[in-house]
Structure 1
Amino acid sequence: MTTVLAPMEGEAVGLAAVPDPVFSAGMVGPGMAIDPLRGPGKAVAPIAGKIMKLHPHAYVIVGDDGRGVLVHLGIDTVQLKGRGFQLLATEGDRVSAGQPVVAWDPAVVEAGGRSPVCPVVALDALSADVTRVVEGAVQAGDELFTWE
């Protein structure tokens, strides 16, 4: 069992609330999303493991059990080409759960006409494997869901 933590403070919502059909339909995988607190902040590692992919707008951390979790900072934020994001870690780094990975400002993303909602997805998981889902207000590092 893997406990996936909220990567930032905000409101935990279902993936159906993500304004991108690839995420909202669960095509990337099951999980949750966070509508982040507006203002500068840091996105943290949702699990302990190795950073396998790291872009300014998204990262994948794979735990020692081989399970990967994707955190996508906002929707269509790849178009920003890194503007407004600061990497706090490097691809290949080992991180502990709750360790800051990217600094960003959801208000800047929103001001640019994009959604700052952040999908947090259990990669290669079945919907039935994601349980104990939390909805409502969360702090960075709070339990978001369990991956059975």
Structure 2
Amino acid sequence: MTSVTSPLAGRAVGLSAVPDPVFSGAMVGPGTAIDPVREPCEAVAPVDGVVLSLHPHAFVVVDAEGHGVLTHLGIDTVQLNGKGFELLVERGEAVARGQAVIKWDPAAVEALGKSPVCPVVALEATAEVLTGVREDGAVKAGDVLFGWE
């Protein structure tokens, strides 16, 4: 089983609290979401693996079992065209759980009129294969968000 850990410090809020129907309806996949602390921070890899996809506002890490985990930094942040985000790794790079992937500032994103809530999604999965999904409470980067069987 793969443990997926939080890429950020903040509060677990669950996908249903994400202000985007694609995420809140779990159309991308099941998982949870983090309402991040409002200070500059680094989003870290939620699993050991390889960076399959990398954008200023989102990244996917695929673990050794082939599980892809999407971390999306805020909602509609693609519209910021990378402003306020700094990539710290490259696509195709191997990363360790907890390794910094993107530096960003959730407060600045919010000031630009975007939600800083961050979905953390199990790609190509169903809710039945996830266990122990955290949907509330304070989390630190590295705390377990859910298990993936």
* Number of the residue aligned with 1:28: 28
State yes or no: 1:102 paired with 2:102.
Answer: yes
**C-alpha displacement at 1:131, in angstroms?**
1.1
How many pairs does the alignment contain? Answer: 148
List gaps (5 residues or longer) in structure 1. none
- 1:29 partner letter: G
List gaps (5 residues or longer) in structure 2. none
TM-score when normalising by structure 2: 0.98
Q: Distance in 2 between matches of 1:133 and 1:52?
A: 24
Q: Pick which of 124-133 and 42-51 moved more.
A: 124-133
**C-alpha displacement at 1:33, in angstroms?**
0.2
Q: Distance in 1 between matches of 2:145 and 2:126?
A: 17
Q: Distance in 2 between matches of 1:131 and 1:16?
A: 17
* Number of the residue aligned with 1:9: 9
Instruction: Give the 3-state SS of the residue equivalent to 1:144 in structure 2.
Output: strand
* Number of the residue aligned with 1:131: 131
* Number of the residue aligned with 1:82: 82
Instruction: Give the 3-state SS of the residue equivalent to 1:75 in structure 2.
Output: coil
Q: Distance in 2 between matches of 1:43 and 1:14?
A: 18
* Number of the residue aligned with 1:145: 146
Q: Deviations over 1:24-65 (max 9, x none)?
A: 000000000000000100000000000000000000000111
Q: Deviations over 1:47-96 (max 9, x none)?
A: 00000000000000001111100000000000000000000111010000
Instruction: Give the 3-state SS of the residue equivalent to 1:22 in structure 2.
Output: helix
Instruction: Give the 3-state SS of the residue equivalent to 1:121 in structure 2.
Output: strand
Q: Distance in 2 between matches of 1:21 and 1:28?
A: 10
Q: Distance in 2 between matches of 1:110 and 1:18?
A: 14
* Number of the residue aligned with 1:47: 47
- 1:120 partner letter: V
Instruction: Give the 3-state SS of the residue equivalent to 1:133 in structure 2.
Output: coil
Runs of 4+ in 1 over 2 A off after TM superposition: none
* Number of the residue aligned with 2:56: 56
